[in-house]
Chains A and B, each alone.
Chain A
Amino acid sequence: MKPRKLLSLFFAFVLLLSLAACQKENQAKPNTEPPKAQTDTQKPAEQPAPTPTPAPTEVVEISFWHSMDGVFAEIVNQQVTTFNDTIGKEKGIKVTPVFQNWPGTEALTAAMSTDDVKNMPDVIQLYSESVNLIQNYERTVWAEDYLAKGNSAFQKSDLIPNAVANYTINERMIGLPYTLSSLMLYYNQDYFKQIGMETAPKTIAEMAEIMPKLVEKTDAEFGLNVRVQLYELENWIATQGSDGSWFGNNNSGRSGAMTELAADKDGSLEKFLGEWQKVVDSGVYKATRDSINDEFAAGMHAMVIMSSSRIPTIKNLVGDAFQWNIAPIPTVSASDIGGCTPSGSGLFMLNRGEEKQTNAAWEFMQFMVSPEAQAMWLSGTGYIPVNTKTKELDAYKAAVAEDSRLQIPYETSLKSSTKMVQSFCPNSGTVDGVIKEAMIAFGNGEADKDKTYQAIVEGAAKAFEEYYRANPLK
């Protein structure tokens, strides 16, 4: 066959495939439109006439940008559909979810820099490290302004305290916590039993002490696998002391711009590195991260430290191969308060010029933090519901009854101090890289404690300097 004919056939095939797939999608996709009213002829005669609901005269359409992929995106779509079919239908609001690849800031930055109001979202999901981007942006609508009106569907006290603190700047909430997870210690209970341990270690020193035994007496190749980066380091800094410690100055960016580290001034960084030296000295610590989920599931590591959002993944991977559990991360000192910083994302509103749109956006935001919407995270994700009232729902009780491990990050977050927040670290990508590089070198024995300390402090200072040279403080 001639190339031209082949190409024509191929193009025809692609078009057919596309059309077929589009049609299939229309059939398979859950209906996000409010159901159309039945005509008189379609209405069954025996049914009583439904109470007429006054239909909103105008539908306000708002756009919601999120960066959830895979199963998480399915839940987001489910939440949006539920809103559109219930509150949205009642109040005349239609939300359109739009996927933006993680961290979800590329298109926002482009729209912000050109003040392209028409192509901005009304509500956007952002992670803590991106809050700097919108903190001083004139179109940001602070959640506190709506909460202050006093007629919200929830109270601040309904939400997990340090999740609220995470999005609070100068006592005002900039956004609402939406997805929440925490850093957890995952441990192989079968291996622990083999060395006569029943519970997880409470401190780093205890953890370092059992690591060689775990490798010696079980099939584990490594006692612990964790790659310490900004997120992990912040957790070990924040959980120090009797009420937590700040990672950065100005309360880690909550009472002013974070311009330098605080962890090097109060000695918490040095203290952590001193304890971490014991982990390094155990000789059975893996400082890099490859396929941490799969390696833990294969029994390669006795312990791993990672986000609670991976509970379902580990559950699927391990199956019945061995018993495992999770626990709060070991503290630096036995006297430390412990707990976790809230990881995850928040929802933020932007003013696109019309009040009715921001009002509609607030209605949507309130729904997304409601117990019902938050309970949806329990099916297939390890996210912690941000609304404490979720605990009263049957969905939560059923999920916890099926897997009691889901309760551990929830309880840990609930008890965590409001000082335990993720810092609004400028140039967070660079700082993250600095910490990662320094901690891997430390973990591999290529750098000692002092050199690691110096690399982190100097690297972070340089990153801050570069950031504020390009973005001077006003």
Chain B
Amino acid sequence: MKSSKTLELIIQILCISLALLILFPIFYAVSVSFMEHREVLSKTPHLLPKNPTTGNYVTAFTRTTLGRYMLNSFLIAAVTSFFRLLFAAMAAYSFAFFEFRGKKILFALAMTTLMIPPDVLIVSNYATISKLGLINTYTGICSIFLVSAANLFLVRQYFLSFASSIRDAAQIDGCGSFRFFTEILLPISKPILVTVFISSFVNVWNQYLWPLLVTNRNEMRTIQVGITMLKDRESSIFGPVMAGVTIALIPTVLVFIVFQRKIVSGMMSGAVKE
């Protein structure tokens, strides 16, 4: 009994140490965002600001239109995540519950898209978006993120964990495919749907190159592009950049805090096919 408690204590200490190690750069970034320039570069490094200042945040908001960039990023991340979820759930439903010719090939084709580096397609994607007249539009930015094979795979694996007898029973009771999907399957799949939504939100929120390419108007830029405007190539003024990074972190961190339990549950459930 005593040894198991000691083991548990060691594991807890290890977990906390690991968490602190991972969180340290984030804590330090937040701390630097409140430091004056000289303090950041002082010979003896300061972990916490001696005289906290909000000057870096003022610089971040006055040097760029950070608020507008956040709004853009938020809209893009929310809309694309919603559509990714919708398309992933619908496709996963058909791959998990229906039998049709070419099912395996179609699924394999979808999975092969995971092996193509997105940067390879960037110019052809740009050409398409440009020809459609979607440069400098939210639709243009969102278009290439609307479907994700990784999300499809995750949801399909989760759906496969359902016994087909549930669907059979629903059908016997007169429940059609669409009703089963919307009223039974989706409500009981909340953990995986939340997981997909959050992972997608974070992924799109952090996109940099594509939004930079398809926007050339300041009011259409996203937060990740905005942060690069805060840096200074000729010097080491980290304060405003760290302030920008801290502001950009807030939505993703909050979303993680709010949905943490559901994400874990979703990951575990989708991991194993029963």
CA distance in complex: A24, B70 (Å): 14
CA distance in complex: A309, B234 (Å): 7
Which 6 pairs from chain A and chain B are nearest by CB? A21-B67, A70-B232, A18-B71, A313-B235, A114-B127, A110-B126
Question: Smallest distance from the beta carbon of B64 to chain A beta carbons, Å?
Answer: 8
B67→A19 contact, CB < 8 A: yes
Residue from B67, B130, B235 within 8 A of A114 (CB atoms)? B130
B71→A15 contact, CB < 8 A: yes
CB-defined A-B contacts under 8 Å, sample of 20: A6-B254, A6-B258, A7-B255, A18-B74, A21-B65, A22-B67, A24-B62, A70-B230, A70-B231, A70-B234, A70-B237, A73-B229, A99-B218, A107-B216, A110-B123, A114-B127, A118-B135, A293-B235, A297-B41, A382-B234
Residue from B70, B131, B233, B255 within 8 A of A18 (CB atoms)? B70
Q: B71 — which chain A residues lie within 8 A by C-beta?
A: 14-15, 18-19, 22
Q: A111 — which chain B residues lie within 8 A by C-beta?
A: 126, 130
Task: Tally A-B pairs: CB < 8 A.
Answer: 141
Residue from A73, A100, A382 within 8 A of B63 (CB atoms)? A73
Q: A106 — which chain B residues lie within 8 A by C-beta?
A: 209, 212-213
Residue from B74, B135, B216 within 8 A of A63 (CB atoms)? B216
Interface string of B184-203 (1 = CB under 8 A from A): 00000000000000000000
Instruction: Answer yes or no: A194 CB below 8 A from chain B CBs.
Output: no
User: Closest residue of chain B to A23, judged by CB?
Assistant: B67
B236→A114 contact, CB < 8 A: no
Chain B residues 50 to 88 lying within 8 A of chain A, measured CB to CB, are 61-63, 65-68, 70-71, 74
Please tell me the size bucket of the interface on B: 35 or more
CA distance in complex: A297, B235 (Å): 12
User: Closest residue of chain B to A113, judged by CB?
Assistant: B123
A119→B216 contact, CB < 8 A: yes
Given contacts A25-B67, A25-B68, is CB(A98)–CB(B123) below 8 Å? Answer: no
Instruction: Answer yes or no: A71 CB below 8 A from chain B CBs.
Output: yes
User: Closest residue of chain B to A17, judged by CB?
Assistant: B67
Residue from B122, B221, B251 within 8 A of A110 (CB atoms)? B122
Chain B residues 210 to 248 lying within 8 A of chain A, measured CB to CB, are 212-213, 216-218, 221, 225, 228-237, 240
Q: B37 — which chain A residues lie within 8 A by C-beta?
A: 316
Q: A114 — which chain B residues lie within 8 A by C-beta?
A: 123, 126-127, 130-131
Question: Smallest distance from the beta carbon of A96 to chain B beta carbons, Å?
Answer: 8
B61→A24 contact, CB < 8 A: yes
* Residue among B122, B130, B240, B250 facing the most chain A CB atoms (10 A cut-off): B130
Q: A38 — which chain B residues lie within 8 A by C-beta?
A: none
CA distance in complex: A320, B78 (Å): 51
CA distance in complex: A207, B12 (Å): 57
Q: B258 — which chain A residues lie within 8 A by C-beta?
A: 3, 6-7, 10
Given contacts A21-B61, A106-B213, A119-B135, is CB(A69)–CB(B229) below 8 Å? Answer: yes
Chain A residues 68 to 91 lying within 8 A of chain B, measured CB to CB, are 69-74
Instruction: Answer yes or no: B259 CB below 8 A from chain A CBs.
Output: yes
Residue from B62, B122, B217, B254 within 8 A of A98 (CB atoms)? B217
Given contacts A119-B135, A313-B235, is CB(A14)–CB(B127) below 8 Å? Answer: no
* Residue among B61, B68, B216 facing the most chain A CB atoms (10 A cut-off): B216
Interface string of B8-44 (1 = CB under 8 A from A): 0000000000000000000000000000010001010
Instruction: Answer yes or no: A471 CB below 8 A from chain B CBs.
Output: no
A99→B229 contact, CB < 8 A: yes
CA distance in complex: A313, B209 (Å): 29
Interface string of A108-144 (1 = CB under 8 A from B): 0111011010110100000000000000000000000
